[in-house]
Amino acid sequence: MTRVTFANTVARSFRRLQACGLALLASLTLAAPAGAQLRVDISGVGATQYPIAVANFQGSPQGQNVAEVIRADLTRSGQFSLINATGASMGADSPLAHDEWRTRGADFMAYGSITEAGGQYTVTYRLADTVRKTELDGVAFAGNERELRRIAHRIADRIYEKITGVRGVFSTRLAYVVQKGDVYELQIADADGQNPQVMLRSKHSIISPAWSPDGKKLAYVSFELGKPVVYVQTLATGQRLPLANFKGNNSAPAWSPAGNQLAIALSRDGISQIYIINDDGSGLRRVMRSPLIDTEPHFSADGASIVFTSDRSGNPQIYRVPVAGGEARRITFNGSYNISPALSPDDGSLVYVTRRDGAYRIALQNMTTGAEQLLTAGPDDQSPSFAPNGMQVLYSAVQGGRGVLAVVSIDGRVRQTLSTLDGKVREPTWGPFTE
């Protein structure tokens, strides 16, 4: 790919999005309900599946709802085989018939109680190993009726971690953009696509959302001023700060692990280059000088380096450079077109978009061995983002001509599709652990 072609590729989304209603005024909606939930479809199973039964929680009509959320979470992971517990209702203090459930095929059993007083609920749960006949976990949560779904996600997280040894991500959130006609909405939702809320609604394009490490802010690019400008928005208050509004394009924000700085791509000097800026808009510093296009920065987990996309080799590839500056080192060598890098939470893997046989696919590369695995088949998969436990990758895809969100396990065996009936979903990013 020629240098000019790559420049066109980088600018393509800017030009396309700038054409969408720039003469209209942006309208802001803070924490408004988004209407339709994202529908989740699941395919594939994990290499290892843990057989578990989840009984309805006793003591409240909400007990079945809590159990259903837990079952759905575990099913979506692809790592659990749900044993039929229809009609079973058990309290946290109920005696457990280990042998009976083991005979029914359940190596693990989750159950519990819900009590309510004055509008406040207490949810007490237990997790048992029916093979060893031991209790693995037991804890109580408190909250109002609206918080019961969040509590169910937290219980599913604990079950996932106690059995697999890996922290669960069911109580984390996603951010993404939904396009409905000529209106763009920046939304956040639970990891299962439920409880969507609109953070920003605009007649102007919104791209590249990025979560702060504490999950309290989103950085993103908005075109409401007639060109791409980087904003930072506090989710609790809706307060917005125009972080980068320099000459030319301001794009591709990425938070440092400490949350006090962002890496951004600016064309203020005529060509896209990578800069570091403080989270209040001060302290702008260019990371390195290159006569070619550098864009799409992403911090390593230790904050010491940045991976980014550049065409300095003649076609777009992914490189790594120290945050303090210095020589950039190329890290992708498979294929002639690799963009949109993101490192796993432990820096052990790199995920990116690769073009193979005309299809844009998501690839995973081992950072130690360089071995590559193609996780998706395309034809137009974009914007990969790791789950905070590193076990799954969120990305945007096209199905039936519509934009959807998709999740694939890092071994490529389990896939989820999250779609909405009234718009195109794109530009996803997975939020951090917050509890």
Residue recorded with tokens 């591709």: 252
Domain end position, chosen among 164, 180, 203:
164
- Split into its structural domains, the chain has a count of 2
Specify the pLDDT at position 291.
85
Residue ranges making up the domain that contains 416: 3-30+172-430
Specify the pLDDT at position 39.
64
Residue 23 maps to a domain: yes
Instruction: For residues 135 and 247, state if they share a domain.
Output: no
Tokens linked to 101: 């459930």
Residue 41 maps to a domain: no
Q: How far apart are CA 268 and CA 313, in angstroms?
A: 23
Instruction: For residues 84 and 230, state if they share a domain.
Output: no
Residue 68 maps to a domain: yes
Residue 426 maps to a domain: yes
Specify the pLDDT at position 33.
57
The residue ranges of the chain whose pLDDT is under 50 are 1-9, 11-31
Residue-wise pLDDT tens digits, 353-390 = 999 999 999 999 999 999 999 999 999 999 999 999 99
Instruction: For residues 422 and 363, state if they share a domain.
Output: yes
Q: How far apart are CA 374 and CA 167, in angstroms?
A: 25
Helix (H) or strand (E) holding 415: strand 415-419
Residue-wise pLDDT tens digits, 155-185 = 999 999 999 999 999 999 999 999 989 999 9
Residue recorded with tokens 């031991």: 134
Give the single-character DSSP code of 375.
-
40's CB contacts (< 8 A; 6+ apart) are 76, 192, 193, 416, 417, 418
Instruction: For residues 110 and 214, state if they share a domain.
Output: no
Inter-residue contact 319 to 339 (CB < 8 Å): no
Specify the pLDDT at position 30.
44
Domain end position, chosen among 164, 187, 212:
164
Residue 36 maps to a domain: no
CATH code, 145: 3.40.50.10070
435's CB contacts (< 8 A; 6+ apart) are 154, 171
Gap between the terminal Cα atoms of the chain: 45
| Strand ranges for 279-348 from DSSP E | 285-286, 294-299, 305-310, 317-322, 329-330, 338-343
